[in-house]
Amino acid sequence: MLSRIQIKGYVSRIRPSGSVIPRLYSRNSHIDSSPTNTEENTKTESKEEENIEHDSSLPWYLREDVASQTRTVEVELPEIPEHAPKTLQQFLELIGKEYGIIDLELYDLSTLPEEHPYSTINQPFNYIIIGSGKSEKHIFKAASELRLWIKQHHGYLPAMEGRVSNALTALARRRLAKRAGKGPSATENEFGLGKNSWVMCDTKIDGIVIHMLTPDRRENLKLESLWAEDQPEVVDESGLDGDSIFRGFRRRFHTSARGLNQQKLQGIYELLLAQETTENVEKLKEEFDSDFSGSNIAEYNIKYDFYKSLHLLDPNSITEQELIQIIWDKYSSLSLVCEDWKQEITQDVIKYMGFLLDTTTTESYNKLSQFISKIIQFSPHEINLISNPEFQNLLWKLSYTGSNEVDSSVINQIIETGKSPDVTYTDYLTQNNHQARDVTTFIEQQETPIWFRETKMLTYGNCGKWREFWNEWDIIIQTIPSKDAINYWVKLLVFLSERNTVEQLRKFFVEYWNQPGYSFVEYTKNGERFNSKEKQAVKQAIKKLEIECADFPWFKQALEFASKL
């Protein structure tokens, strides 16, 4: 027969008497925040401890544990904005009081100005909640409970990033069986970052996002600095070697911080482009220079675009030498010494060619040659610029000056939209014949692409070089596949209608409209059909020419053709 104390000790092994254990993981639970160590409880506990200590006949496995009672922890919730939805309060109380997530931080993004990189216009979230869990198991349990709570109250299971179950799937078990005796695979290494050390839940409810991290992971990532502008600058004090496999995880935050600074610079640049006057330009430049750190390639590229815009507004404020120096500073930066510059060099050459087009200098090719000679020294690899279509196109554009141009983009826009721009193309471009010849020879060292021939043809037409124009057309129409011919005929007609030169229109309708061999009408007779946009473009072009060409006999066939479309 067990004594009363023995029975009490046995039962206490199943359910500790007088203990207060917070139910951190259970749904719909309540944490009692009342004091637990009252004077009456303390006296009762002392008497029971004395009885147990003096009863040496009680076996050790039936003795009651003498331990301090668990204290409930009152989680402090962050202040909630007055305009916030009720669901925000619900989520904070749920993860804080029900699931035991502590050190909660709340960031309100809904009131940020539109130009801020984290305003609701630039990203989909309104509120960011960050909290710490005791362990990875704690976070996994809290995330699972949160997921089920949303399912129960809102009718769907939200996606959770970073939540990983320890249970093996059937596929994982089969793979382990195949690797029996071979040891663990390399992909099983967590590199010091345990599962569920960072779980993110996009609730899809009022733009609320919840981050739950272990204390160590939270300290390393410092997510708060992404949304709190008053956070101190992050300094890497890890002491890890640059070749350490853990270095990448430390750098993850720094990459995010650099991305934030990059977005600030991009925002300032966009404000500059939106300026209608030059009043605030100097202020924007000072703000840009103060935020510029030069920690990555993207910042240098934004600075180049920013300074280029300043140069085009006022060449005296930013000289060409100062603009080009930004590129040299990028390649000379010690923080970027390990970058692979091959692709970047190609892009910088193309950007510089665009700058030369905007400035319309007479020394464009000489400047480009000097620039390329210098920039290719920063890469040990061979830079093949000539095979780049954008380089070829810009190289050709540098051979002429003027802006009254009907190019491929204008023609395609007319065909797509069915509307002709409100521009009269009467003036001609001016082309340097020697430069055009040299560029053509340079590009045609390889097989000449059809798009380059089309570009040349349109340039000749815009420059008034009609003999060269028709020579290129004859080559194009005999080179392209027959299935593409009808589209090129439509482009030709649209171009001639925009330039509206009667002599060249007569040549087209007399020699190319309906002649044996290859002609516009011949292709339509052989089963080639317009699509709806091409048909509309043909009708619009002929209607536009009717005002000046209706009395010419060579134009009557075109009118009759258009009336039947």
Specify which of 70-84, 89-103, 253-267, 342-356 reaches the highest per-range mean pLDDT.
89-103
Tell me the mean pLDDT in the region 62-91.
78
Q: What percent of the chain lies above the pLDDT cut of 70?
A: 73
Integer Rg of the chain from CA: 37
Report which of residues 209 and 20 the model is more confident about: 209
Tell me the mean pLDDT in the region 301-327.
87
For residue 213, pLDDT beyond 50 = yes
pLDDT at residue 44, rounded to an integer: 52
Report which of residues 416 and 74 the model is more confident about: 416
Distance CA 246, CA 189 (A): 12
User: What is the band of 233 on the pLDDT scale with cuts at 50, 70, 90?
Assistant: low
Distance CA 533, CA 313 (A): 39
* Minimum mean pLDDT range among 29-33, 85-89, 340-344: 29-33
For residue 245, pLDDT beyond 90 = no
CB atoms within 10 A of CB 180: 7
* Minimum mean pLDDT range among 262-271, 519-528, 550-559: 519-528
Phi and psi, residue 129, nearest 5°:
-115, 130
For residue 88, pLDDT beyond 90 = yes
Tell me the mean pLDDT in the region 505-513.
87
User: What is the band of 298 on the pLDDT scale with cuts at 50, 70, 90?
Assistant: confident
For residue 46, pLDDT beyond 60 = no
For residue 146, pLDDT beyond 90 = yes
Domains recognised in the chain with CATH numbers: 4-62 (no CATH), 76-167+193-228 (3.30.460.10), 386-565 (no CATH)
Long-range pairs for 227-236: beta carbons < 8 A, 24 or more residues apart: 227/107, 227/109, 227/118, 227/128, 228/105, 228/107
For residue 515, pLDDT beyond 90 = no
Q: At what angle do helices 4-14 and 39-54 cross, to 10 degrees?
A: 110
